[in-house]
Every structure is written in C-alpha cells, then in structure tokens.
Amino acid sequence: MSDLSVIFVCMGNICRSPMAASVLRAELERAGLAHVTVSSAGTGGWHVGDPADRRAQAALARRGYDTEHAAQQFQPEWFNDYRLVIAMDRDNQRDLRRLAPTRAHADAVRLMLEFDPEAEALDVPDPYYGAADEFDSVLDLLEPACRGLASHLGEL
C-alpha cells in the first residue's frame, strides 16, 4: 500500500463507496497522483464479493468511469492501513467511529462531502432503494467532492 491511501465506506459497499472510489481514481489519474491507493468497503457484510449495484455500474459507465469492483467489509485493523477513512454519511461515520481502535482513529473519520466547499449537506444519500436516476444524482455529488479530495491529496 502506498504512503497515501484512501478508503471510502458506506453501508453495503455496492453503491456510494465504489462509485466514489472509481471517480477518485479518475481524478487522481488526471492530477498525476495515480500512486495514491484507493479502496472502498461497507460497514456491513451483506454483499461481500459482489460487484457494484447494476445501477451504480450503469451510472459510472455513462460518465466513462471504471466499473470493476468486489464488495468487502471494513475491518477495524484497516484504520492503520489508510491515511484517510471517508464515510459517505453521518450514520456510516458513527459506525466507523464505534469500530475505531483509538479515539484518534475515531476522530479522524471524515465525511465525503467535506471535500466539496460548495456542498449544501454533508451526507451522500443512499440511492439503493431509489430509482436509477438517483445514482446519477450521487455522481453529481461525488464528482466535485472527489476533485476537492484529489486537490487535498496533492497537498499532502
């Protein structure tokens, strides 16, 4: 794993977090920061080994992003493996903070939309139970946040 590593975390690791990982990889490539390690995981293990939701894959493909993904469940020891642990919403952040081995790890869990200075909210809504167009709306939130995150990583 590189010195700079990021993991995105949502509930099941088949919608928001793999979408964020795909978008960030593209942003890092454009910024010349392809050495940054990017991964994603879920707080739950329901979908371990599954690809991203077909609607997430379709939304990513429409915008030219990679759709390769296999879901995994976040493990507490991973706090030591990643420079940044980024939750998709405050519920995921709370769950991650409960898993954290130390107070410093818990305090370091960031929210995805913190990296978009123009975001109107901090939670990326979960599109899983919604319509297909909600996955496009999630990408609309993730793209500027990933640009901001790539810029942040370039400064580290």
Nearest to 74 by CA among 87, 61, 62: 87
In the prediction, which pLDDT does 112 show?
A: 98
Domains parsed from the chain with CATH numbers: 5-155 (3.40.50.2300)
Nearest to 39 by CA among 90, 63, 73: 73
In the prediction, which pLDDT does 74 show?
A: 98
Q: Tokens standing for 39?
A: 């991964």
- 58, 132 in Cβ contact below 8 A? yes
Residues of the chain short of pLDDT 70, as ranges, are 1-2
Whether this model's pTM surpasses 0.85: yes
In the prediction, which pLDDT does 1 show?
A: 52
Task: For residue range 92-134, list pLDDT tens digits in order.
Answer: 999 999 999 999 999 999 999 999 999 999 999 999 999 999 9
Cα separation of 1 and 133, whole Å?
35
Name the residues annotated as catalytic.
10, 16, 126
